[in-house]
Amino acid sequence: MSRKTAILFLSLLALMLFLPFTQAQEKDAEPQNGLEILMKKHGIANSTAQVTPTICALCGLTPPETSQMPPLESVLKFWNELRGADPDAVVEKVLIFCPDATGDFLVPHYPDDWKPLFEKTDVRVKGTNVLPSVTPVCFGTIFTGAPPETHGIRKYSDKYAPDPIKVKTLFDVFAAAGKKVVIVAQKGCSIDMIFRNRPIDYVSTKSSKESVEITKKFLRESDYDLILCYDGNYDSVMHGNGVHHPKSIAAMRDSIRWYLELSEAADEAWSGKNRLTAFTPDHGAHDNSKGKGTHGSDRADDTVVNHFYRLRMGK
Footprint on this chain of Zn ion (rule: CB under 5 A): 100-101, 135, 235, 282
Beta bridge partners of residue 293, listed in sequence order: 287
First to last CA, the chain: 91
Q: How far apart are CA 226 and CA 174, in angstroms?
A: 8
The residue nearest Zn ion at its CB is 135
Query: Quick one: 100 or 231, whose CB is closer to Zn ion?
Result: 100
Considering the complex, what minimum distance in angstroms separates the CB of residue 98 from Zn ion?
9
Q: How far apart are CA 203 and CA 7, in angstroms?
A: 71
Considering the complex, what minimum distance in angstroms separates the CB of residue 103 from Zn ion?
9
Query: Quick one: 52 or 190, whose CB is closer to Zn ion?
Result: 190
- Buried b / exposed e along 70-97 (16+ C-beta atoms within 10 A): ebbeebeebbeeebeeeeebebbbbbbb
Distances (CA, A) of 105 to 213, 243, 245, 296, 304: 28, 10, 14, 14, 8
Distances (CA, A) of 16 to 4, 11, 23, 98: 18, 9, 11, 51
Considering the complex, what minimum distance in angstroms separates the CB of residue 288 from Zn ion?
16
Query: Quick one: 165 or 265, whose CB is closer to Zn ion?
Result: 165
Query: Quick one: 255 or 274, whose CB is closer to Zn ion?
Result: 255
Query: Quick one: 225 or 302, whose CB is closer to Zn ion?
Result: 302
Considering the complex, what minimum distance in angstroms separates the CB of residue 283 from Zn ion?
5
Residue type, 137: V
Query: Quick one: 67 or 294, whose CB is closer to Zn ion?
Result: 294
Considering the complex, what minimum distance in angstroms separates the CB of residue 135 from Zn ion?
3
Considering the complex, what minimum distance in angstroms separates the CB of residue 57 from Zn ion?
26
Query: Quick one: 63 or 232, whose CB is closer to Zn ion?
Result: 232
Considering the complex, what minimum distance in angstroms separates the CB of residue 294 from Zn ion?
11
Evaluate whether 242 touches 292 at the Cβ level (below 8 Å): yes
**What is the DSSP-derived secondary structure letter of residue 163?**
S
Provide the 3-class DSSP secondary structure of residue 276: strand
